């Protein structure tokens, strides 16, 4: 069906408005627990519903054909499905679009089947979509790296000598990755006030970082790098990421080995993984790269994506978040394929369910900067919210809400939200 029907013409028997994040063109995957109880299981989002993939599989409507796995969705994670690779992913996606299409009566006209298969999305409880074995965070926005470098080293030395030659990154903490809606406690740490000895206490400069992340599907064997033009076959899909950062803790501790306690207290991700197949119509050229990357980082395909991104702050007195940042994933200097190719270039083995985050996504204008550090320029230019309040950094009680979507002709491919509320230390 995907090959014969233009993507913009696909329609489901489930009513989905044009500005909804989850039309039949999307069908992102996640792990949910149904309202009223029930074990966590894989699902696909469509409109305000979740399609129960375990139920579809057990009813015989969904055969994955994954090697050695007859029931890939009989699980509380997507790791097994991720490991199946592109052939399995495409087969399941095509079958779901067939079953959910407006002109297919297979489940549409079966009230008992619908009752078993469709769940109310808003009343379901979302969980982490994968067992995340390893987490890596990159630093791949030239605008962000330039802004931060300018603040701390001056404009002439903003970028470190290696930055234009390789995707800089560090290994983060997988255990503190949390799902959207989870409260984030203000972290304690050691900081160094100007002209004073170090002190121990709550972070005073808590920040968000607007990022996107990708989940590894099929991994690679230890010692076997993934060639750049094969990398996309190893990427299952993308999520929104808020890389919470305690700037004062980070500033004192990160030299010489990089981020540590200023990052590892929490990382928030959106619950729905949007596949590369769903994002294919929005693939585009990224920024020009000068000097040209080394051959192992040079791809024959464009691998940036035109994804609109927004960050809002909602105080305890506000009903809606005040948008403070509008950016786009296409601004990334180093794309996701270059990131994974570099990550495995030394033979490092990536595994199904590993998460790689992009680094802060900042654009060319002040309104598109992806962190409070940049938006308030180290606290010298307070950000005014829609209710008149000002913020230099994030306060207790504030919620940070990230959203993202790719806009098609009459439909959008959305990611939902990555939201978290800050609680006191």
Active-site residue set: 144
Three-class DSSP category at 116: helix
Three-class DSSP category at 21: coil
Query: Can you tell me the distance from the alpha carbon of 83 to that of 27, in angstroms, rounded to the nearest whole number?
Result: 18
CA distances (Å), origin 415, targets 30, 154, 272, 323: 11, 36, 6, 17
CA distances (Å), origin 112, targets 59, 107, 222: 11, 9, 47
Residue 39 has, within 13 A of its CA and on its CB side, a CA count of 10
CA distances (Å), origin 206, targets 18, 139, 216, 323, 377: 36, 19, 29, 18, 14
CA distances (Å), origin 74, targets 81, 89, 217, 254, 360: 10, 16, 18, 42, 35
Cβ(336)–Cβ(318) under 8 Å?
A: no
Give the pairing of strands 308-314 and 283-284: unpaired
Query: Can you tell me the distance from the alpha carbon of 242 to that of 80, in angstroms, rounded to the nearest whole number?
Result: 26
Tokens of 278: 């769903």
CA distances (Å), origin 420, targets 21, 285, 315, 319, 387: 19, 32, 12, 15, 20
Contacts of residue 47, defined as CB under 8 A and 6 or more positions apart, other chains included, come to 12, 14, 15, 16, 20, 22, 23, 121
Query: Can you tell me the distance from the alpha carbon of 42 to that of 124, in angstroms, rounded to the nearest whole number?
Result: 12
- In the block, tokens 């992913």 appear at 89
H-run or E-run covering 197: none
């Amino acid at each position: 069906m995907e090959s014969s029907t233009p993507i913009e013409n696909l329609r489901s028997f489930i009513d989905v408005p044009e500005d909804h994040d989850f039309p039949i063109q999307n069908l992102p995957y996640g792990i949910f627990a149904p309202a009223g109880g029930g074990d966590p299981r894989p699902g696909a989002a469509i409109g305000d519903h979740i399609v129960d993939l375990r139920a579809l599989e057990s009813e015989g409507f969904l055969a994955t054909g994954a090697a050695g796995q007859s029931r890939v969705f009989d699980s509380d994670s997507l790791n097994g499905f991720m490991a199946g690779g592109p052939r399995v992913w495409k087969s399941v996606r095509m079958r779901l679009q067939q079953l959910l299409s407006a002109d297919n009566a297979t489940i549409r006209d079966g009230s008992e089947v619908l009752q078993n298969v469709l769940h109310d999305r808003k009343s379901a409880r979302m969980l982490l979509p994968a067992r995340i074995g390893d987490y890596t965070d990159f630093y791949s926005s030239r605008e962000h790296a330039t802004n931060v470098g300018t603040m701390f080293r001056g404009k002439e030395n903003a970028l470190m000598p290696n930055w234009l030659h390789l995707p800089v990154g560090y290994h983060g903490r997988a255990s503190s990755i949390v799902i959207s809606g989870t409260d984030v406690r203000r972290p304690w740490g050691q900081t160094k006030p100007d002209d004073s000895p170090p002190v121990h206490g709550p972070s005073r400069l808590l920040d968000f970082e607007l990022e996107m992340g990708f989940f590894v599907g099929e991994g690679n064997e230890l010692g076997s790098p993934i060639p750049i033009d094969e990398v996309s076959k190893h990427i299952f899909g993308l999520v929104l990421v808020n890389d919470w950062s305690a700037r004062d803790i980070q500033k004192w501790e990160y030299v010489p080995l990089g981020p540590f306690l200023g990052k590892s207290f929490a990382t928030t991700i959106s619950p729905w993984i949007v596949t590369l197949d769903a994002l294919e119509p929005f693939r585009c050229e990224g920024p020009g790269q000068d000097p040209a990357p080394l051959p192992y980082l040079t791809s024959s395909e464009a691998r940036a994506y035109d994804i609109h991104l927004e960050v809002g702050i909602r105080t305890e007195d506000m009903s809606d978040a005040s948008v403070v940042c509008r950016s786009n994933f296409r601004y990334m200097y180093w794309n996701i394929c270059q990131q994974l190719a570099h990550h495995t270039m030394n033979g490092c083995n990536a595994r199904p369910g590993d998460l790689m985050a992009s680094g802060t996504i900042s654009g060319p204008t002040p309104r598109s900067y992806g962190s409070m550090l940049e938006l308030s320029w180290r606290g010298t230019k307070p950000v005014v919210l829609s209710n008149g309040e000002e913020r230099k950094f994030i306060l207790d009680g504030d919620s940070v809400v990230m959203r993202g979507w790719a806009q098609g002709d009459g439909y959008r491919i959305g990611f939902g939200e990555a939201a978290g509320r800050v609680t006191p230390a």
